[in-house]
Amino acid sequence: MKIIFMGTPAFAVPILDMLIKNHDVLMVVTQPDKPVGRKRKLTPSPIKTFAESMGIDVFQPTRIKKDYQPILDMKADVLITAAYGQILPKGLLSGITSLNIHGSLLPAYRGAAPIQYALFDGLKETGITVMEMIYEMDAGPIILQGKISIDPTDNFQTLSNKLSLLGVKLLKEVLSDFNRYFDNRKPQDASKVTFSPLIKYDDETIDFSWPTAKIVNRIRGLAPEPGAHFTYKDNLYKVYQAVKSDIIDSSSKPSTILQTKKRLTIKTRDGAIDIMEIQAHGKKRLHVKDYLNGQTVFHIGERIKEDNDVN
């Protein structure tokens, strides 16, 4: 088949790789290069880097709503998207059959962050939906779905990798007998719709008044990027891994520091967490034991300053 592919993050790379090996990919559409790091160096998306390495033409419209005609001009058989990052306009969707590889079992978790929210909510399983795109966010008919288990050690990166490979498998199956699968697509059950909105900076803040499991799951859903964070003595710390602590303290308030030797233990609403990987602002990401070794940064009995702490 002649295909236009639209995607941006690493999640989409294995899917594009499969399409290049099995079909005629006419063009890849991805987000514009973005400034990254303290030096704000313009950096291409993982999809752009991979597409160019494979000799595929790359198109990077700043606003797809105003600049989609080059896609229609390619006269492809189908348009396939996987975490592209912009809402596609009516004019584009009405001009070509369009499929989306979505990282949830729709109608659950429509929106920009389905993988993160599956982890935030502590789900035991999730999946991929291959769907027809319509001009309503993630609301199109379902073509094929598949499930995978979420392991307790999964974070955003590992779960994204698993789902990407499942997406490859399902899309390959759909394209092998496209007309049959497409003709048998089914509408979503509107009564079961849930959403996973775009994650904002405030969503990355650790609130130690939450239950332990909720905090651990929030950290999992944000690792390794952008990372969850908290503020202590006006310094920002990012957290990449944490586990439920075996320390019991029923008298301290949430956010109280309970342990600072070899592990950093902080009181939560219903227990405590051990922070395992941490990064101080402007410093390297370290195992907490290495970070605490030889320096006194955190003090037992003090409370972490939270964005919503009024004390």
Say which residues have a Cβ less than 8 Å from residue 201's Cβ, sequence separation at least 6: none
- Give one DSSP letter per residue of 156-176, joined into a string: HHHHHHHHHHHHHHHHHHHHH
Contacts for 275-278: CB closer than 8 Å, 24+ residues apart: 275/239, 275/241, 275/242, 276/240, 276/241, 276/242, 276/243, 277/239, 277/240, 277/241, 278/237, 278/238, 278/239, 278/240
Confidence class for position 258, pLDDT limits 50, 70, 90:
very high
Percent of the residues in the chain that have a pLDDT greater than 70, as a whole number: 98
Q: Name the token pair of 190.
A: 């509107």
| pLDDT for the residue 311 | 39
What was the pLDDT predicted at 305? 67
Helix (H) or strand (E) holding 231: strand 228-232
> Could you read off the pLDDT of 203-257 as tens digits, one per residue?
999 999 999 999 999 999 999 999 999 999 999 999 999 999 999 998 999 999 9
pLDDT tens per residue across span 116-145: 999 999 999 999 999 999 999 999 999 999
pLDDT > 90 in the chain, percent: 93
Residue 48 CB contacts under 8 Å (≥ 6 apart), including other chains: 28, 30, 33, 58, 60
Give the dihedral of Cα atoms 40, 42, 44, 46; nearest 10 deg.
Answer: -10
**Average pLDDT score over the chain:** 95
pTM (2 decimals)? 0.94
Cα dihedral 135, 136, 139, 145, rounded to 10, equals 60
Looking at the DSSP bridge assignments, the partners of residue 28 are 5, 58
Using CA atoms, how far residue 116 sits from 80, 197, 231, in Å, is 22, 10, 22
Answer yes or no: is pLDDT of 189 > 50. yes
Q: What is the pLDDT of residues 148-177, one digit of tens each?
A: 999 999 999 999 999 999 999 999 999 999
